Amino acid sequence: MKTSRRFFLSGASALAAAVVAGGANAQDVIGDILKSSARGNWDDQFDARASEGGKVASTLPIFSPQTVAFTEQAVGQYQNIVGQGGWVEVPATKKLQLGVDDPDVVPLRKRLMVSGDLSQSAGISTAFDSYVDSAVKRFQLRHGLPADGSMGKYTYAAMNVSAQIRLGQLQTNLQRLREKAGTLGSRYVLVDIPAAQVEAVENDRVVLRHTAIVGKIDRQTPIVNSKITEIIVNPYWHAP
């Protein structure tokens, strides 16, 4: 990790939060996605604007008023989706990708339209065209998956989590965001356990972001709120 001594030796808080949502089956699916070796990088954080094709604001801290506002917006959108019956399940029986013409592309298009990843103007057809390809990549980016545009095991798994469970996740996280946003000062370090990454924040902007090593269900990372007084670069470490 390359950074200044002044930055890390200043007073800082290290925080972590775990996501709790949905029933046991949905948790198993989400857990499989998180443990997958094919999971994408978590550099692209959730941003409500991404579902509309906007660029994800990667310098936006997790605990910020803007994140709260985006999450509130997403909660409203998902409440509306749930109120209208959610989305259809996409048959996870084959690999769909650009150039394929298959009946299963129809429910895929409908699913992507409901979540806002595909424009309604793209229409309903059996063709996996460039519009569907872009929509799938947008969906994958929003869910921390490799944005290859191909419908594989983990993309299907993420896509077929119900709208009700996604709404529950958003509501849980919104409560935690509201509790912490604006309480950490202008400079702090945050360890985001679900995203497996570290944010170094200064003046409401992420200036450094790195992948973190976090625990597992049977060996969980403890939640800590502490002042940083020392940092050891390249420490000795032995496998437990």
Give pLDDT tens digits for 194-209. Answer: 888 899 999 989 999 9
State the pLDDT at residue 30: 59
| CA atoms of 141 and 144, how far apart (whole Å) | 5
| CA atoms of 196 and 22, how far apart (whole Å) | 21
| CA atoms of 219 and 126, how far apart (whole Å) | 45
Q: What is the pLDDT along the chain (240 residues), one digit of tens a residue?
A: 444 444 333 333 333 333 333 445 555 655 665 555 544 443 333 444 444 444 444 788 888 888 899 999 999 999 999 999 999 999 999 999 999 999 999 999 999 999 999 999 999 999 999 999 999 999 999 888 999 999 999 999 999 999 999 999 999 999 989 988 888 888 999 998 888 889 999 998 999 998 888 888 888 888 888 899 998 888 888 887
State the pLDDT at residue 25: 56
State the pLDDT at residue 1: 42
- Write out the residue limits of the CATH 1.10.101.10 domain(s) in the chain: 40-182
CATH class of domain segment(s) 40-182: mainly alpha
The neighbour count for residue 10, using CB atoms within 10 Å, is 16
State the pLDDT at residue 236: 86
State the pLDDT at residue 36: 57
- Where b means 16+ CB within 10 Å and e means fewer, 120-137 reads eebeeeebbbebbbbbbb
Global model pTM greater than 0.75: no
CB 180 within 8 A of CB 15: yes
| CA atoms of 64 and 114, how far apart (whole Å) | 28
By CB atoms closer than 10 A (0-12, 13-18, 19+), residue 142 is: buried
State the pLDDT at residue 33: 57
State the pLDDT at residue 54: 43
State the pLDDT at residue 63: 87
Describe the crossing of helices 163-180 and 65-83 by its angle, rounded to 10 degrees. Answer: 160
- Where b means 16+ CB within 10 Å and e means fewer, 210-225 reads eebebeeeeeeeeeee
State the pLDDT at residue 43: 39
